[in-house]
Amino acid sequence: MLWLVIIAMLIGLLSLGAAFQAISTFRFSRKFPPPGKLINIDGCHLHYQVMGEGNPTVVFVSGQGATSLDWQLVQPEVAKFTKILTYDRAGYGWSDLSTTPRTSVQIVNELRQLLTQAGIEAPYILVGMSFGGLPVRLFAYEYPEEVAGMVLVDVTHEMLYERFPRAIVKLNEQFDWWAINILPIAARLGLLRLLVLLDYLPLAPGLFKKFPVSSRPQAKAVYAHTKFWDTFRQESAAFNTTIMEVQQARAAKPFPAIPLIVISAGKQDFGVSQEVMQIQKELLIDLANQSPYGVHIVSEKSGHLIQLDDPELVVNAIRKVVDEASCKGTV
């Protein structure tokens, strides 16, 4: 009898959580309207925001499970010396959920359409963070004439599975399994919304303390949205294809000779060991060496989220690349 009562209580709690999640998701757009504009790309509305004036335009591409809000400490400072565009990939932030596989090829195609329809002329300075480093590098391999410079912020390397210890690779694979099979269900039941409200997301506790106080409610609402976790699932499911696309492009085409700054984290966080940090540093030095103008630097006071932990360093890196691109006549 006791077990029946416990089961009934659990079902009731889960039903209540699911109802609260559905209501909160429905109210999201009314409570937090998009700060930028929406543009139709192949039937999917993508959210983007343009700030500042001048050329070249700096285009920001966020990491997996991240949105345009992650750049809010960097945006206004970069907009003081050139035009910038931040956007939410399909399914994140204020952008519609997409039904197409979330591979680098698809992401690059959508971004190029967005830039064209928004009237943003090439060449661009591309800034990629974490997972976002894969599509921005594919962009440069495929369309080198459209890229004047690049800043890579603790990005994912396409050879990480070959270089990381087997135990770490297995842990990543297990997390991807959870991301694909469990997290979307947990989101619909309101469980992830609870973790967001408590600021205790898996592998990222204390994330929202990094955001300005004024934008924390907005950021939490974005991260707690059901489609956010559906998109996280889509990108996790397509990850092997994504890295294969970049591997193939790198093997077939040269990286353009453009100003390039690669920034790696100097502090451990998200459960990363010192051994993995050293391997990551070596991988990012490899990326910096792709361009004859490539430079690798370390953010000594930052973990993985350098744009939130050490935004001044990111702003200065972008400024340097913009200046160098202008001097080299690539813009």
Express each pLDDT in 114-168 by its tens digit.
999 999 999 999 999 999 999 999 999 999 999 999 999 999 999 999 988 888 8
Q: Which residue type occupies 51?
A: M
CATH number of 32-163+241-327: 3.40.50.1820
Torsion angle of alpha carbons 197, 202, 206, 210, nearest 10°?
Answer: -100
pLDDT at 80: 97
Count of beta carbons in the 10 Å neighbourhood of residue 199: 15
Residue 160: name the closest of 243, 218, 89, 55 by CA. 243
Q: What is the pLDDT of residue 30?
A: 72
- Looking at 211-330, which runs of residues are DSSP E strands? 260-265, 294-299
pTM over 0.75: yes
* 161-186 residues labelled b (16+ CB within 10 A) or e (exposed): eeebeeebeeeeeeebeebbeebbeb
Other Cβ atoms less than 10 A from the Cβ of 83: the count is 20
Using the 8-state DSSP alphabet, how is residue 59 labeled? E
Nearest CA-CA partner of 223 in 76, 46, 80, 92: 92
- Name all contacts of 278-284 with Cβ < 8 Å and 24+ positions apart: 279/163, 279/164, 280/154, 280/157, 280/160, 282/163, 283/157, 283/159, 283/160, 283/163, 284/152, 284/154, 284/155, 284/157
Which residues of the chain are modeled with pLDDT < 50? 4-6, 8-11, 13-15, 17
How do the domains of the chain map onto residue ranges?
Answer: 32-163+241-327
CA 207/CA 200 separation, integer angstroms: 8
pLDDT the model gives residue 155: 97
> What DSSP state is assigned to residue 62?
-
Residues near 248 by Cβ (< 8 Å), separated by ≥ 6?
A: none
Q: Tell me what pLDDT residue 29 has.
A: 64
What is the residue whose two structure tokens read 């959580």?
17
Q: According to the model, what pLDDT value does residue 13 have?
A: 46
